[in-house]
């Protein structure tokens, strides 16, 4: 399948990319790994007139610890996140989630920033970004702007990102007691339902919890009812069992497609919530 014709440009800095985006007058799209965009272009569901390749911008890929937080730059490919020794030690759920995306070839090319900007309703990263309460750092013509993950994902393929802004990276406080559990769509690897759970635990008591759900609705969301049910409770299998039961309650719209009916997806939300919480407990 061949995409519509486009003009190809390359940017060597974020500022150059922003300037180029402005010059396209809305006809331009950014290209990094291309593993969300290129398939859409081949299906002609996306027909940008200009592609601005940002994959070669120096310093736009990498993972580091900064001021007690973890920072992942936007053009970091999933494989590098999945195999990061820093993440394995400090915040294994992020590496675990990256390792669940697609397949090895996809993980060698696809990038964190691309996945977040695209916000596929079945993408894995949005769920874990919600669970670790990540800040998404965006750069536009007026400089940097920080958006909480919980505000970033707004609707189907819709995020808080202006046409002339670029994701530079994400920052989050490391949390060890966190896990990701996912029901795979076998051919594509996308999540039919995916749940990322992070627990803050003090003296055997859950002081707070954050749960991100993907695959179920138009975009990834927090499951605040489960979070409230966990907060203040002793960390135990019983607590998890009870809290997971109410996962998905109150969600108005749940997706249905050839892979899973709405009823099936609704049934799987508590199942995978429990599994994610069990992983989180095992790491606490």
Opening angle at CA 6, ends 5 and 7, nearest 5: 140
Give dist(CA 125, CA 196) in Å, integer.
Answer: 9
Residue number with CB closer to another protein (53 or 160): 53
Residue number with CB closer to another protein (2 or 282): 2
Rounded to a whole number of angstroms, the CA Rg of the chain reads 19
Residue number with CB closer to another protein (172 or 190): 190
Give dist(CA 46, CA 44) in Å, integer.
Answer: 5
Q: How far is the CB of 2 from another protein (least distance, A)?
A: 6
Residue number with CB closer to another protein (36 or 177): 36
Q: How far is the CB of 188 from another protein (least distance, A)?
A: 6
**Interface residue list for another protein (CB under 8 A):** 1-8, 31, 34-35, 38-39, 41-42, 51, 53, 55, 79, 83, 102-106, 108-109, 187-189
Q: How far is the CB of 45 from another protein (least distance, A)?
A: 12
Residue number with CB closer to another protein (105 or 158): 105
Return all residues near 167 (Cβ < 8 A) that are at least 6 apart.
74, 113, 116, 117, 136, 137, 138, 161
Beta-strand pair 178-184/7-10: unpaired
SS (H, E, C) 205-231: EEEEEEEEEECCCCCCEECHHHHHHHC
Q: How far is the CB of 73 from another protein (least distance, A)?
A: 18
The DSSP bridge partners found for residue 48 are: none
Residue number with CB closer to another protein (42 or 64): 42
Let me know how long the chain is.
Answer: 284
In the numeric block, which tokens belong to residue 11? 């940017």
Residue number with CB closer to another protein (107 or 265): 107
How many CB atoms are located within 10 Å of the residue 105 CB? 10
How far does CA 42 lie from the centroid of its chain? 23
Return all residues near 118 (Cβ < 8 A) that are at least 6 apart.
36, 37, 157
Q: How far is the CB of 67 from another protein (least distance, A)?
A: 32
Q: How far is the CB of 65 from another protein (least distance, A)?
A: 24
CA distance to 172, 173, 255, per residue, from 67 (Å): 11, 10, 40
Q: How far is the CB of 5 from another protein (least distance, A)?
A: 6
């Amino acid at each position: 399948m061949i995409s519509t014709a486009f003009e190809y440009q390359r940017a060597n800095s974020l500022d150059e990319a922003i300037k180029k985006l402005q010059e396209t007058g809305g006809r331009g799209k950014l290209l990094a790994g291309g593993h969300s965009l290129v398939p859409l272009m081949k299906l002609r569901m996306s027909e940008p007139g200009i592609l601005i390749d940002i994959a070669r911008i120096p310093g736009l890929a990498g993972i580091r610890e900064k001021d007690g937080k973890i920072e992942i730059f936007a053009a970091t490919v999933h494989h590098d996140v999945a195999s990061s020794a820093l993440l394995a030690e400090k915040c294994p759920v992020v590496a675990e989630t990256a390792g669940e995306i697609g397949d090895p070839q996809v993980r060698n090319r696809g990038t964190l920033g691309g996945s977040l900007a695209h916000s596929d309703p079945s993408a894995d990263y949005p769920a874990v970004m919600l669970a670790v309460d990540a800040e998404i750092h965006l750069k536009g013509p007026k400089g940097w702007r920080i958006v909480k993950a919980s505000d970033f994902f707004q609707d189907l393929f819709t995020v808080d990102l202006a046409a002339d802004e670029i994701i530079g990276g994400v920052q989050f406080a490391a949390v060890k007691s966190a896990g990701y559990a996912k029901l795979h769509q076998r051919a594509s690897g996308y999540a039919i339902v995916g749940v990322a759970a992070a627990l803050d635990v003090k003296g055997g008591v859950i002081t707070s919890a954050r749960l991100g759900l993907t695959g179920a609705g138009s975009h990834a969301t927090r499951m605040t009812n489960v979070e409230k049910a966990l907060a203040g409770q002793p960390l135990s299998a019983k607590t998890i069992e009870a809290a997971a039961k109410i996962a998905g309650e109150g969600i108005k719209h749940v997706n249905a497609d050839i892979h899973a009916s709405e009823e099936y997806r609704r049934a799987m939300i508590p199942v995978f919530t429990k599994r994610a919480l069990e992983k989180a407990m095992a790491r606490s």
